[in-house]
Amino acid sequence: MRTMQGLQKVQLKRGHFVDTPDVGTQLSTFRQTIDNIDAALIHMLAERFRCTDQVGVLKAKHQLPAVDKGRERRQYERLTRLAEEANLDPGFVEKLMQFVISEVVQRHRQIAAVEQTTNTNQADTP
């Protein structure tokens, strides 16, 4: 970090510079960016789950298993490549996706249970 005419110049990883009068302002700027990214992540996860829930409904209607190991393997391979290209730790990405996928599978099983109960109740209705 260098001081230039009373301003601290910070170089970010990709070569961007931020001129700010003090550390507090720098932190505030970075934190606002982080907050925006966090909000985007939440919205992206919500959209992902809306989509995977529809996959769960489709699987349940056609009595397909909640888990597709081949699909998971291909996803991990693809996401590992993406992580490496983005200079992100592939191990971290794998752990994150294991958590996300386990939630998807749990939701698929819940959807299948509801579908099965609905079908059973409809079959019992005269």
Instruction: Show the domain range for 106.
Output: 2-124
DSSP state of 6: T
Domain containing residue 88: CATH number = 1.20.59.10
Q: Within 10 Å of residue 104's Cβ, how many Cβ atoms?
A: 21
* pLDDT of amino acid 12: 59
Separation between Cα atoms, residue 88 and residue 14, nearest integer Å: 14
* pLDDT of amino acid 84: 97
Separation between Cα atoms, residue 10 and residue 23, nearest integer Å: 10
Phi-psi region at 11: left, alpha or beta (left = phi > 0; alpha = psi -120 to 50):
beta
* pLDDT of amino acid 22: 87
* pLDDT of amino acid 13: 58
Please identify every stretch of the chain with a pLDDT value under 70, giving residue numbers as ranges: 1-20, 123-126
* Domain total in the chain: 1
